[in-house]
C-alpha cells in the first residue's frame, strides 16, 4: 500500500504530533528539541507530550496557534447508556 493511499492514515492519529514537530524542524532548523519528541508514541501521555513540545515551538517562533493539550479525542462506540432505574 502506498503512503499516499487514504487507508494508510487510518489509526495514525498518534503520529500527528511527532509529524508536526518534524515539519516545524524542517521549517525552523534547530528550534525543535527532537530529543523530547517520542516518534513511537503509543499511549496518551506520550502523544500529549509531543503536542506540548509542538506548542513550545510555536511559542518560540511566534506562531499564534494554541493547541489544546489534554486527552486526545477517543472514538465513540455508540450512544451512552444510562444505568438509572
Residue 37 domain boundaries: 11-60
The count of structural domains within the chain is 1
Tens of pLDDT, residues 28-85: 999 999 999 998 888 888 888 988 999 999 999 998 877 776 655 454 555 554 555 5
**Rounded to an integer, what distance in angstroms lies between the CA atom of residue 67 and that of residue 85?**
41
The answer as to whether 78 is a domain residue is no
CA-CA-CA-CA torsion sign (44, 52, 25, 34):
negative
Is position 72 within any domain? no
Residue 80 falls within a domain, yes or no? no
What sections of the chain are H helices per DSSP? 16-27, 44-60
Residue 61 DSSP one-character state: T
Cell numbers for 68, please give them.
489544546
Residue 37 lies in a domain: yes
How much is the pLDDT for 3? 52
Give how far Cα 11 sits from Cα of 5, 49, 65, 72, 74, Å: 13, 19, 25, 13, 11
pLDDT at 4 over 90: no
26 within a domain of the structure (yes/no) = yes
Amino acid at each position: 500500500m502506498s503512503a499516499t493511499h487514504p487507508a494508510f492514515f487510518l489509526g495514525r492519529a498518534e503520529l500527528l504530533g511527532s509529524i508536526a514537530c518534524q515539519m516545524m524542524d524542517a521549517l525552523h532548523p534547530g528550534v525543535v528539541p527532537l530529543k523530547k519528541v517520542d516518534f513511537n508514541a503509543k499511549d496518551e501521555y506520550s502523544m500529549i507530550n509531543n503536542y506540548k513540545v509542538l506548542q513550545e515551538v510555536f511559542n518560540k517562533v511566534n506562531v499564534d496557534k494554541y493547541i489544546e493539550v489534554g486527552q486526545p479525542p477517543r472514538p465513540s462506540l455508540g450512544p451512552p447508556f444510562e444505568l438509572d432505574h
